[in-house]
Chains A and B, each alone.
Chain A
Amino acid sequence: MPDHDRKQDGLNKAERSTERHPQRQAKFSTSSGLEVKPLYTPEDGIESEAEYEQKLGYPGEYPYTRGVQPTMYRGRLWTMRQYAGFGSAEETNERFRFLLAQGQTGLSVAFDLPTQIGYDSDDLMAAGEVGKVGVAIDSLEDMEALLAGIPLDRVSTSMTINASAIVLLAMYIVAAEKQGISANQLSGTIQNDILKEYVARGTYIYPPKPSMRLITDIFAYCSKKVPNWNTISISGYHIREAGSTAVQEIAFTLSNAIAYVTAALEQGLAIDQFAPRLSFFFNAHNHFFEEIAKFRAARRIWSHVMRERFGAKDPKSLALRFHTQTAGSTLTAQQPDNNIVRVALQALMAVLGGTQSLHTNGRDEALALPTEESARIALRTQQIIAYESGAADAIDPLGGSYYIEALTDEIERAAREYMDQIDQLGGAVEAIEQGFMQREIHAAAYEEQRAIEAGRRIVVGVNKFQLENEPTPHLMRLNPKLGEIQTVKLARLRAARDQSAVDAVLQQLEQAAQGTENMMPYILDAVRAYATLGEICNTLRGVFGEYRPSNF
């Protein structure tokens, strides 16, 4: 049989539906609605040396499809970075030391909602929320307790903080200073991505314009004084958690990134001065191959955007580095141990997709914060992938797979379409103010919910394979008195500090906010004087106002 006929014959056989073995579904598709063919062949993949050079290249080289470093995990494994934080600074400090002792290689701080939204623990708005989803930090005093005994010159710290990022970063810098470590020795990341807060996560304070100024002030300050700090982690994670598809996740994230770059350029920064410190944060969700292709496509698109649209030259500006967290929204409250398996698969996708750091979720996180045992299993999952599976031994091991390459191309094409649409709306800030991203995400989330309820999408243990009587798992309980404890601490602090010094620095901050100067030095002064987070953020609220979303 000639080659052509053999191929057609193979495709026909793969597609054939017989009476005994009909296809399980009329059509197979990914989360983004991209059609999955029964069989992929060489013409779906990389067909020539020229196509290889153009689409893939080599790891550590433009367009970075295969990874951002030449040696990837053969040189150094990804950073195992478990997000943790709850209750008081002292309790979280204890969990950090436990995680470091277990072989974790970087810290990741979760802050409670009042801290994220710039309220002190004794503010009326903080009622019921103090210490719940993360640690409560009211002043430099709490930050010092959080970091006690942790070698900040050797441990890198990631902080999930956005609207109030400038204050928490200032507290971190001053706490390190007090340990005798200077700012240029510090390494870490602040999330600092306000746009996705308006879109999906909800911890905004100020309107977009002053928020973008705070962000570019941080870029400018850190490029000089804290050179190893990742000044932003542009996040698709929460967009995905809010219900987006994989394609929307990277399209909206990269469009947001373009908005930050544009804002920084408008402030007069040079592209290669700040772009090397931009980092990203993605979700590892359920569709194994789509997720791996998504990470590869995101790298390729970003390198094109940076080089062709913004004229970046520094290779570090072109390479998209990212953190990954496994998808919290895929965890089920039902039969929670099954989540260990979901997390392991998702973690493997992140590794096969070339992540720089990874958080694996605890099995019980659809019910509560993880217990210490759950947190350990989550970390062990990464260690098993790293040390036992061999998945980290060859670079981009799925590169060249007909299926993966076809999906990478498809995702790139579909994401580009969205990004063009957002450009036509006037960019990400406009698109968000018009509710475009929010509506697209909600439509996808609602469609997925309907698919689950109709049984078109199976969630094991939820709409199929349920258990009649589920045992109640042992869950993490938090100290409900923490709000009161923090209130007492705050009262003590306010009585002990030099109030006239606090008043003076807050007044200077107010003036700086009204002008156009970089605000970082003023916030550092306020933090040093033990002005509280709430006092600093309220000063800025007075100047900038607060963001009030329309409901879309």
Chain B
Amino acid sequence: MQQELAGQKIRVLIAKPGLDGHDRGALIIAQGLRDAGMEVIYTGLRQSPQQIVAAAIQEDVACIGLSSLSGAHMALFPEVVRLLRAEGIDDIFVIGGGIIPQDDIQALKEAGVEELFTPGTPMSDIADYIKRKVGSPIE
């Protein structure tokens, strides 16, 4: 990725789609990724897929991390991917986390969400995953 070649920090958008107010996980991941050397923008609560995609473009991020604990992931996560593609964007990848039953994970991946991280995942696993995806060395 270009921003990596320029030696800049990896930029990540952490977003809360839908109406879910549980942001403990999103806030922890945001801080964890910052501590892993990334530039993290957190959207705050209640973002529509449109707002999330617009913010991702505006902030020129490499990755969007979506968090939902309300069960709305099947409607909202694929919509973010679809809107990115509709904008012709192929250098932003989408990952997700929250309360996501095993059965839904495959369907979300098929819809273009690159990876899902469920409760209990160490922050460092997520940071390492993002670094690998953007071709950045893992310490």
The chain A residues found within 8 Å of chain B, CB to CB, are 113-114, 116-117, 119, 124-129, 132-133, 197, 201-203, 241-243, 329, 332-334, 366-369, 442, 445-446, 449, 453, 459, 462-463, 472, 475, 478, 480, 549, 551
Residue among A114, A127, A475 with the highest chain B CB neighbour number at 10 A: A127
CA gap between A372 and B32 in the complex, in Å: 37
Closest to B120 in A: A462
CA gap between A127 and B47 in the complex, in Å: 12
Number of B residues, CB within 8 Å of A? 32
| Minimum CB–CB distance for A319 against chain B, Å | 31
CA gap between A453 and B123 in the complex, in Å: 8
Asked, given contacts A128-B18, A201-B21, A202-B23, whether A113 binds B70 with beta carbons under 8 Å apart, the answer is yes
The chain B residues found within 8 Å of chain A, CB to CB, are 18-24, 27-28, 31-32, 42, 44-46, 48, 70-72, 74-76, 99, 101-103, 118-120, 122-124
User: Could you tell me if B123 and A127 are in contact, using CB atoms closer than 8 angstroms?
Assistant: no
CA gap between A448 and B102 in the complex, in Å: 26
User: Could you tell me if A472 and B102 are in contact, using CB atoms closer than 8 angstroms?
Assistant: yes
User: Could you tell me if A453 and B122 are in contact, using CB atoms closer than 8 angstroms?
Assistant: yes
Query: What chain B residues lie within 8 Å of A459 (beta carbons)?
Result: 120
Query: What chain B residues lie within 8 Å of A462 (beta carbons)?
Result: 120
Residue among A119, A124, A242 with the highest chain B CB neighbour number at 10 A: A242
CA gap between A269 and B48 in the complex, in Å: 41
User: Could you tell me if B21 and A445 are in contact, using CB atoms closer than 8 angstroms?
Assistant: no
Query: What chain A residues lie within 8 Å of B99 (beta carbons)?
Result: 333, 366-368
User: Could you tell me if B76 and A128 are in contact, using CB atoms closer than 8 angstroms?
Assistant: yes
Asked, given contacts A113-B20, A117-B19, A445-B24, whether A367 binds B101 with beta carbons under 8 Å apart, the answer is yes
CA gap between A332 and B28 in the complex, in Å: 17
Query: What chain B residues lie within 8 Å of A449 (beta carbons)?
Result: 28, 32, 123
Query: What chain A residues lie within 8 Å of B21 (beta carbons)?
Result: 113, 197, 201-203
Closest to A367 in B: B101
25 CB-based A-B contacts, threshold 8 Å: A113-B21, A113-B70, A114-B19, A116-B19, A117-B46, A119-B19, A128-B18, A128-B76, A129-B70, A202-B23, A241-B24, A242-B24, A243-B24, A333-B119, A334-B120, A368-B71, A368-B101, A369-B71, A445-B27, A445-B28, A446-B32, A449-B32, A472-B102, A475-B101, A480-B74
Closest to A461 in B: B120
Asked, given contacts A133-B71, A366-B119, A453-B123, whether A202 binds B27 with beta carbons under 8 Å apart, the answer is no
Query: What chain B residues lie within 8 Å of A367 (beta carbons)?
Result: 99, 101
| Minimum CB–CB distance for B129 against chain A, Å | 15
Query: What chain A residues lie within 8 Å of B44 (beta carbons)?
Result: 549, 551
CA gap between A21 and B123 in the complex, in Å: 34
Identify which of B28, B72, B75, B101 contacts A446 (C-beta below 8 A).
B28
| Minimum CB–CB distance for A401 against chain B, Å | 33
Asked, given contacts A202-B22, A366-B99, A367-B101, whether A132 binds B72 with beta carbons under 8 Å apart, the answer is yes
Closest to B23 in A: A202
Closest to A128 in B: B75
Query: What chain A residues lie within 8 Å of B42 (beta carbons)?
Result: 551
Closest to A443 in B: B31
Query: What chain B residues lie within 8 Å of A202 (beta carbons)?
Result: 20-23, 45-46
CA gap between A472 and B102 in the complex, in Å: 8
Q: Which 8 A-B pairs have the closest CB atoms?
A: A202-B21, A128-B75, A128-B72, A113-B19, A132-B71, A462-B120, A129-B72, A453-B122
Residue among A128, A132, A242, A480 with the highest chain B CB neighbour number at 10 A: A128
Query: What chain A residues lie within 8 Å of B71 (beta carbons)?
Result: 129, 132-133, 368-369, 478
Query: What chain B residues lie within 8 Å of A549 (beta carbons)?
Result: 44-45
User: Could you tell me if B118 and A333 are in contact, using CB atoms closer than 8 angstroms?
Assistant: yes
Query: What chain A residues lie within 8 Å of B102 (beta carbons)?
Result: 472
| Minimum CB–CB distance for A202 against chain B, Å | 2
Residue among B24, B44, B46, B70 with the highest chain A CB neighbour number at 10 A: B24
| Minimum CB–CB distance for A113 against chain B, Å | 4
Identify which of A113, A128, A329, A334 contacts B74 (C-beta below 8 A).
A128
Residue among A116, A332, A449 with the highest chain B CB neighbour number at 10 A: A449
| Minimum CB–CB distance for A454 against chain B, Å | 10
Query: What chain B residues lie within 8 Å of A366 (beta carbons)?
Result: 99, 119
CA gap between A466 and B120 in the complex, in Å: 11
Identify which of B19, B20, B120 contacts A125 (C-beta below 8 A).
B19
| Minimum CB–CB distance for B94 against chain A, Å | 16
CA gap between A549 and B21 in the complex, in Å: 12
| Minimum CB–CB distance for A449 against chain B, Å | 5
Query: What chain B residues lie within 8 Å of A368 (beta carbons)?
Result: 71, 99, 101
Asked, given contacts A333-B118, A453-B124, A475-B101, whether A127 binds B24 with beta carbons under 8 Å apart, the answer is no
Closest to A480 in B: B74
Closest to A130 in B: B72
| Minimum CB–CB distance for A35 against chain B, Å | 26
| Minimum CB–CB distance for B12 against chain A, Å | 15
